Structures are given as structure tokens and as C-alpha cells.
Amino acid sequence: MITAMSTYLVLSLITVGALSVMILRIGRILGDCPQTGTAYKAAAVAVATGYAAIGTGGVLLIAAGIAMAPVPHMQALPVALGLAALCLGLGFSNAIATLRGVVNPPEAAPKTPRVPEADAPVNS
């Protein structure tokens, strides 16, 4: 059990760290823009920190699932690593969307112009 848990934790936490560094690098690249550069850099630090915290919590929850698995722990290892990779990848894409959304919020749909009552047709 020690081998399976330590292998899982090392590989998963390396993945969390690598993706967090990638968020910071993407923020640095987006920070080269003269208009919104400082906002991207600050947002990248906040988003990467949040991603690392949530990702580490998810990794630890999956580790608890390995310990409770009804199969031998080495058989549960590939499933746990796959689940962690899937969850971390989805979280990464959401973190990048959040990074872009913090600086450039999506524009609201244009409202349809309202017809004034004086110009409204009268039904007779």
C-alpha cells in the first residue's frame, strides 16, 4: 500500500505543480500586452494559487479513495492516476478560462431596443 500511495502522490503532485507553473507562464505571456499586462500577471498568481490549492485537495481525496478501494492497491493505481489527470486537466482549462475572464469579462448580449409607447401600434 505504501508503494501505491507514494507513487500516486508523487506523480499527481508533480502534475499539480507543473500545471500551476504553466498557468503562471501563460499569465506572463498574456502580461506582455501593454494595456492589460499587469492585470494578467496579478490574476495569474491568484488563479494559479487557487488551482494549486483545489488540485491538491482533489489529489488527497482520490488518495483516500485508493486506501478504501476493495481491490489491491496497485490495481487501483492506474484508475486513480487517470481520474486525477482528468480532474486536473479539466481544472486547468477552467483556470485558464477564469484567467482570461478576469481581465476581459465577456460582453453582455445586446438588449433589444424597446419600442416607446407613443409609437406602439394601436389594436382596434
48 CB contacts (<8 Å, ≥6 apart)? 20, 21, 23, 24, 27, 95
106 CB contacts (<8 Å, ≥6 apart)? none
Note the pTM of the prediction, 2 decimals. Answer: 0.76
- Domains in the chain: boundaries: 2-103
122 DSSP 8-state letter = P
Whether the CB-CB separation of 58 and 83 falls below 8 Å is answered with no
Alpha-carbon span 66 to 63, nearest angstrom: 5
pLDDT tens for each residue of 11-69: 999 999 999 999 999 888 888 877 777 788 888 899 999 999 999 999 999 999 888 88
Whether the CB-CB separation of 18 and 12 falls below 8 Å is answered with no
Work out the pLDDT band at 4, boundaries 50, 70, 90: confident
pLDDT tens for each residue of 56-81: 999 999 999 888 888 887 888 899 99
